[in-house]
Amino acid sequence: MTLLSELSTPCALVDTQRMQANIDRMQQRMNALGVRFRPHVKTAKCVPVAEAQIAAGAQGVTVSTLKEAEQFFAAGIKDILYAVGMVATKLPQVHALLQRGCNLKIITDSVAAAREIGRYGSEHGVKFEVWIEIDTDGHRSGIKPEEDTLLEVAHALRDTGMALGGVLTHAGSSYDYDTHEALLEISEQERAGAVRAAQRLREAGLDCPEVSIGSTPTALTAEHLDGVTEVRAGVYVFFDLVMHNVGVCTTDEIALSVLTTVIGHQEEKGWAIVDAGWMAMSRDRGTQKQKQDFGYGQVCTEDGRPLEGYIISAANQEHGILSRSGEPDTGIAERFPIGTRLRILPNHACATGAQFPEYQAVLPDGSTATWPRFYGW
Amino acid sequence: MTLLSELSTPCALVDTQRMQANIDRMQQRMNALGVRFRPHVKTAKCVPVAEAQIAAGAQGVTVSTLKEAEQFFAAGIKDILYAVGMVATKLPQVHALLQRGCNLKIITDSVAAAREIGRYGSEHGVKFEVWIEIDTDGHRSGIKPEEDTLLEVAHALRDTGMALGGVLTHAGSSYDYDTHEALLEISEQERAGAVRAAQRLREAGLDCPEVSIGSTPTALTAEHLDGVTEVRAGVYVFFDLVMHNVGVCTTDEIALSVLTTVIGHQEEKGWAIVDAGWMAMSRDRGTQKQKQDFGYGQVCTEDGRPLEGYIISAANQEHGILSRSGEPDTGIAERFPIGTRLRILPNHACATGAQFPEYQAVLPDGSTATWPRFYGW
């Protein structure tokens, strides 16, 4: 049994009690709203985390890479949505997963890609289940609900014998807001846009069984999800400082942190140097333009209590510069002597987790367990 | 034999001809300046890259983590400098490496850490070789050349029987400049500061065999290195857009790129969507405050020709938004149809490489070879 105090630094800690509370909170919301929940497992890329989500009631998962599909299918999860636009070169890998029994759904938002999918499917005698990506907030990919392209894509799929599984959208711009009113508005826009797209398809006599929406902020804000069949969200499982600034979690709910050690000081500048630089925290500066800029992360005691005003203000590859916001703390060497261990809450859990080959899960009894995670494509 | 055109995307390409030219350029400079060269292998974390550096004349390596020390020692490299301040909890791992025959040197910049090293060394009968970190530009760690602490640290080491191997400094602030004059000034400041620290130690009757300095910009700028025994530099092996903006390489010398595929468009906005998001490019926005902001990277054709003005202007986890600087290119869907393959030059090679489990080395005959790289601590 390895204790927290025995872990070498830097390492990525998962507070399993917080994680479980985050999982339960989201699942209970989805149950109350009457929709299925399909978590986005790109945040953790970790089988024990996905298993906890499924144990709580999640049905299927969402992935951002085909490697995630391979890995989670190998772990026994069959119902998988690959939520990045399909291109022809990736179809053989999808095909192979289908042949092995994976219920993998793919997405598209263009006639050109739909035709490629249909062509491959026809040539190889495979009926891909394809969902159409809808753009409900202009932040990235997708077809606007009222665009002609929506029906053109659906027809291109039908004409080649593919299965139209549904529509999906992701209001990624919800990350840009920080009031309940604004989040409520973007949530309703996300819901209404996806439902409208499905309605247009159905009015044209096309199948559209699924209406899938979601992002952590909208999933935690929506007051009703009429017409929606499933919700996707990812970062809620750990939360992070960006989500804190958006207003959907407190710092006490953030389940991921980086354990670090103080390795030096520049006292006159009020700096402590820690062994978590940007390689550990990631280069994500997601709070830079938000209402509170946490630099590269919020400093906490080793047992997780936030130290108000102390942040990682700058970072090199393996050096973090810990300082107090505002007035320099020239007593920093006494406050955090060399060898002091601290936890750092990250800006963005998806980016920080990705820097580590494994998580150290901190269990309720204070012991730790190593949870492997994977990366790459 | 895998051809470039057969690689799945996103993947990290290393142009081996460019890499070899970068290695040769640096080694020839170091030879002409009359110093040993100890490359910082944190950039690539890849054995074939380090082997190419050593074949060209490098003597020993610099590492940023003890995992790098373990991995490169396992690959047969014995002379290793771990250039991050030592703390007590990491000494057992260093000790184990020494016992296995690794000539591992450690560093410190404080009396407290020096005493911990001495205490461990005395208790375990091991004479650590310790170098003292000097601060020549105020950007991070180290003792200023004229500080009393310098002699106090040296005495703390001597009094406990440790070996004072030398002094080292790193002018990390050289990344902030972009004129030859400014780089020349910071190079001389780096050299003079390290030499002055060594002089003070020697005048006090202490050993100081090595005077180690370096950063890619200063190593490529310095006109003489009198008093210096060795130079360290890392990112020069691949170069990147940050180094281009600093003025020490051209885009034609950047050896690392990310191969990506166009997966969609938002034509009216002039966007192509590619499958290299920030997970592939890293979150590093190092060119943001430089003279030319490349977003998340410079777009090139599949064979590596830069497409002036086209950059990855925004990124989500697995989506990059490719657009033209200035006026939107509403003909972008015709210019870059779905399925088009492109190379993206990164802002920061150390950060981008770290996102990939392996490099795809592009060999002179057009074939590719997989070069594994490692990560984590």
pLDDT category of residue B1 using cuts at 50, 70 and 90 = confident
| pLDDT, tens digit, 9 for 90 and up, residues B52-101 | 999 999 999 999 999 999 999 999 999 999 999 999 999 999 999 999 99
- How far apart (Å, rounded) are the C-alpha atoms in residues B133 and B165? 11
| pLDDT, tens digit, 9 for 90 and up, residues A322-363 | 999 999 999 999 999 999 999 999 999 999 999 999 999 999
In which domain, by residue range, is A213 found?
A: 17-237
Query: Which of A202, A237, A272 is the endpoint of a domain?
Result: A237
From chain B, pick out residues whose CB is under 8 angstroms from the CB of A350.
317
Contact across the interface for A318 and B109, Cβ inside 8 Å:
no
Q: Is residue B90 part of a domain?
A: yes
Q: Is residue B6 part of a domain?
A: no
Q: Does residue A65 sit in the same domain as residue A185?
A: yes
Residue of A42, A141, A316 with shortest CB distance to B273: A141
Q: Does residue A210 sit in the same domain as residue A120?
A: yes
Q: Is residue B11 part of a domain?
A: no
> Whose CA is closest to A214, among A128, A145, A134?
A134
From chain B, pick out residues whose CB is under 8 angstroms from the CB of A264.
85, 109-110, 113, 141
Q: Is residue A8 part of a domain?
A: no
Report the number of distinct structural domains present in chain A: 2
Please determine, for residue A147, whether its predicted confidence score (pLDDT) is greater than 90. Answer: yes
Q: Is residue A5 part of a domain?
A: no
Chain A: closest CA distance from residue B166 (Å):
19
Q: What is the CATH number of the domain that holds B331?
A: 2.40.37.20
Query: Which of A177, A208, A237 is the endpoint of a domain?
Result: A237
| Interface mutation target, options B81, B137, B318, chain A, most CBs of A under 10 Å | B318
Chain B: closest CA distance from residue A226 (Å):
28
Please determine, for residue A109, whether its predicted confidence score (pLDDT) is greater than 90. Answer: yes
Q: Does residue B177 sit in the same domain as residue B117?
A: yes
Classify residue A145 by burial, with Cβ atoms within 10 Å: 0-12, 13-18, 19+.
buried
CA distance readout (Å), A234 to A60, A61, A132, A353, A358 = 13, 10, 20, 13, 18
- How far apart (Å, rounded) are the C-alpha atoms in residues B41 and B49? 8
Contact across the interface for A263 and B85, Cβ inside 8 Å:
yes
Q: Does residue B149 sit in the same domain as residue B283?
A: no
Residue of A64, A86, A358 with shortest CB distance to B318: A64
For A3, half-sphere exposure in the C-beta direction (CA atoms, 13 angstrom radius) is 4
Contact across the interface for A355 and B337, Cβ inside 8 Å:
no
| pLDDT, tens digit, 9 for 90 and up, residues A287-319 | 999 999 999 999 999 999 999 999 999 999 999
Predicted local confidence at residue A1, as pLDDT: 82
From chain A, pick out residues whose CB is under 8 angstroms from the CB of B172.
316
The answer to whether A170 and A83 have CB atoms below 8 angstroms apart is: yes
Contact across the interface for B375 and A354, Cβ inside 8 Å:
no
Classify residue B121 by burial, with Cβ atoms within 10 Å: 0-12, 13-18, 19+.
buried
From chain B, pick out residues whose CB is under 8 angstroms from the CB of A289.
none
Please determine, for residue B366, whether its predicted confidence score (pLDDT) is greater than 90. Answer: no
Query: Above pLDDT 90, what percent of chain A?
Result: 99
Q: Does residue A103 sit in the same domain as residue A228?
A: yes
Predicted local confidence at residue A366, as pLDDT: 86
Predicted local confidence at residue A310, as pLDDT: 98
pLDDT category of residue A119 using cuts at 50, 70 and 90 = very high
Contact across the interface for A263 and B87, Cβ inside 8 Å:
yes
Q: Is residue A189 part of a domain?
A: yes
Q: Report ipTM (2 d.p.).
A: 0.97
| pLDDT, tens digit, 9 for 90 and up, residues A355-369 | 999 999 999 988 999
State chain A's mean pLDDT as an integer. 98
Q: Does residue A188 sit in the same domain as residue A49?
A: yes
Q: Does residue A163 sit in the same domain as residue A225?
A: yes
Q: Residues B36-60: what's their mean pLDDT?
A: 98
| pLDDT, tens digit, 9 for 90 and up, residues A1-59 | 899 999 999 999 999 999 999 999 999 999 999 999 999 999 999 999 999 999 999 99
| pLDDT, tens digit, 9 for 90 and up, residues B229-243 | 999 999 999 999 999
Q: Is residue A141 part of a domain?
A: yes
pLDDT category of residue A189 using cuts at 50, 70 and 90 = very high
Q: Residues B288-308: what's their mean pLDDT?
A: 97
Q: Does residue A188 sit in the same domain as residue A318?
A: no
Query: Above pLDDT 70, what percent of chain A?
Result: 100
Q: Does residue A58 sit in the same domain as residue A204?
A: yes
From chain A, pick out residues whose CB is under 8 angstroms from the CB of B153.
none
Chain A: closest CA distance from residue B70 (Å):
15
From chain B, pick out residues whose CB is under 8 angstroms from the CB of A317.
42, 64, 350
Q: Is residue B4 part of a domain?
A: no
From chain B, pick out residues whose CB is under 8 angstroms from the CB of A354.
279, 355
Q: What is the CATH number of the domain that holds A122?
A: 3.20.20.10
State chain B's mean pLDDT as an integer. 98
Q: Does residue B177 sit in the same domain as residue B54?
A: yes
